[in-house]
Chain A
């Protein structure tokens, strides 16, 4: 139905693609009617073969949202459809098609890796061969090791292996690379990319911006239970200014620097000055940089440590993290 709207909602799957996950006006309140509302009206959808990332500060409601999509609890309000079905009430139909990785643990400490995998495989209708799956996450050599002797990163990889063991069509990954060393993280990304090539749909949460930038077709940044901004990385970043920073030359003060084209105030939470280093924000990077270099040339000074870059997810994320709740409500009150 969103095809009929004039401007497509960036939180929704692109038109023409089969929708695998559809979340509408989702709310989750803990502890009764006057309890804490962790999810406050979240809507998004994920198309087949897409990777959709939920980003957000700690306590933004990412995990609370994901648990509802996984069908672990009933929302306080709103609807969720996975393959068009309610993941909680119609779990027997949905579960054989989903793979889940929780944020924390979930396997008995005294079982070995192989015993864990055999147990899990025994509950699945069509499991991959266990050895093959352990190989994919580079754990085959640890098959006879007890889970309690695995490192934190190895446990995450075991968890990922169990999530994909049942040949799922959609994967829900809650911070899949937290605690991994950089090499394992890249291996995990490679594995996820390979799964996407196979047409698997992925919904993941992360607080690594690079992970979202690297993997996500689309993403949403959550803050205090709401989606504040959503879309492709380019969409999300486009709203934020580029950044130019440099050391102020000796004998110049910030007021000596001319007003650059497209200059913007520093985003909330960003420090415009740190020591002698000055950071400026502009939504017209090339003209601003030209003007700045022209000025430096004319004065015969050198701009030490000059750094100019287009906005990245980090700017978008920080802007959201420091924004006040009131200015960010989606209009649903």
Chain B
């Protein structure tokens, strides 16, 4: 007898091959609903997830300027994608994974039918919903209020955001392994947050950096995501004149490869560092 009929809508597919088990949307939905209630009940976490990205962009708008073919407004609007990934997905999820682990919720869930992948994704549902909502609102608001163009290549923009979510869910799960309490998450998330802020084009264009530094920065996890966001929306990362729907695709190749590398790094990082149980 294998899994009962109707319980598993997905097959073991990709996540099965990664050793995380199959995926059922029904179970992810049940876990995700509970997580959403928990997020909204936790004032600190809810404030971080709902207000911090916008507040940061507001702060940065007081001193940042656009670069090359990217206007200041366009730079800030695309930068919002970065802050959403860093705060709503990454930081928020590190605290979520740590809190659930320390409450032994992860261990308890693991005794049940839900697979490892479903538990990890289920806990990430509110973060992903809020992140995607905020980026959609950002695009709409930017088009309405600061006259940014309709995205040049919407599929590239969407894929960039989904890939960014995947990378930062994986990095959050891996970082939670180094984090003993929810409070110390403020420290353990600093390396990723600070390096991304400095080097990934949220606070200044990577193209404007000195060559060797720029080469390193292009390899950071957030940089290729923001490159694709800018290519998909604006048709350029700044240095070159904006391209059209098709022209964007050739530019997108290099960031896409770096994204795939980070997804691989993220998967091996959680398999190595993620912990389901409190320390013995």
Contacts and interface: CB of A to CB of B under 8 A. Distances in A.
B104 A123 contact: no
B108 A92 contact: no
Nearest to A38: B280
B31 A123 contact: yes
A77 interface: no
Contacts of B7: 96, 125
Interface in B102-127: 103-105, 107-115, 118
A248 to B, nearest CB: 49
B2 interface: yes
B113 A95 contact: yes
A239 interface: no
A162 B113 CA distance: 12
B37 to A, nearest CB: 6
A91 B12 CA distance: 13
Interface stretch (B22-30, B203-211, B241-249): B22-30
Nearest to A90: B2
Contact of B27 (A100, A109, A122): A122
A100 B112 contact: yes
A231 B231 CA distance: 72
Interface stretch (A110-118, A204-212, A258-266): A110-118
A166 interface: yes
Contacts of B187: none
Interface string B6-46: 11100000000000011000110111011001100110000
Given A123-B30, A124-B113, A125-B113, A115 B37 contact: yes
A246 interface: no
A129 B1 CA distance: 24
A106 B21 CA distance: 21
B113 A166 contact: yes
Contact of A92 (B104, B110, B115): B115
Contacts of B110: 72
Contacts of A124: 112-113
B119 to A, nearest CB: 9
Nearest to A64: B280
Contact of B2 (A71, A93, A110): A93
Given A92-B2, A119-B30, A123-B27, A111 B38 contact: yes
A98 B42 CA distance: 33
Contacts of B111: 70-72, 95, 98, 100, 102
Contacts of A105: 103-104, 108
Contacts of A72: 107, 110-111
Contact of B280 (A30, A92, A121): A30
A107 interface: yes
Given A72-B111, A120-B112, A123-B112, A92 B105 contact: no
A304 interface: no
Contacts of B41: 110
A91 B105 CA distance: 18
Q: Which of A70, A122, A123 has the most CB of B within 10 A?
A: A123
Contact of A123 (B37, B100, B103, B109): B109
Contacts of B108: 100, 102, 105-107, 162
A108 interface: yes
Contacts of A115: 34, 37
Contact of A102 (B3, B100, B107): B107
A125 B34 CA distance: 18
Contacts of B27: 122-123
Contacts of A116: 34
A126 interface: yes
B160 to A, nearest CB: 32
A205 to B, nearest CB: 15
Nearest to A97: B1
A307 interface: no
A251 B83 CA distance: 89
A92 B1 contact: no
Contacts of B29: 122
Contact of A93 (B3, B26, B103, B107): B3
A131 interface: no
Given A119-B30, A123-B113, A125-B113, A92 B107 contact: no
Contacts of B100: 108
B3 to A, nearest CB: 5
A18 to B, nearest CB: 15
A324 interface: no
A152 B143 CA distance: 54
Contacts of A125: 3-4, 6-7, 113
A104 interface: yes
A229 B8 CA distance: 43
A109 B103 contact: yes
A107 B105 CA distance: 5
Given A123-B31, A125-B7, A92 B112 contact: no
* A-B complex: 5 closest residue pairs judged by Cβ atoms: A122-B30, A106-B108, A100-B111, A119-B34, A125-B7
26 contacts: A30-B280, A70-B111, A72-B110, A92-B21, A93-B2, A93-B3, A96-B113, A100-B108, A100-B111, A102-B104, A102-B108, A102-B111, A106-B104, A106-B109, A108-B103, A110-B41, A110-B42, A119-B34, A120-B112, A122-B31, A122-B33, A123-B30, A125-B7, A125-B113, A166-B112, A166-B113
Given A92-B8, A111-B38, 9 more contacts: A72-B110, A92-B21, A96-B113, A102-B104, A106-B103, A106-B109, A108-B100, A118-B33, A166-B113
Interface of A: 30, 70-72, 91-93, 95-96, 98, 100, 102, 104-111, 115-116, 118-126, 162, 166
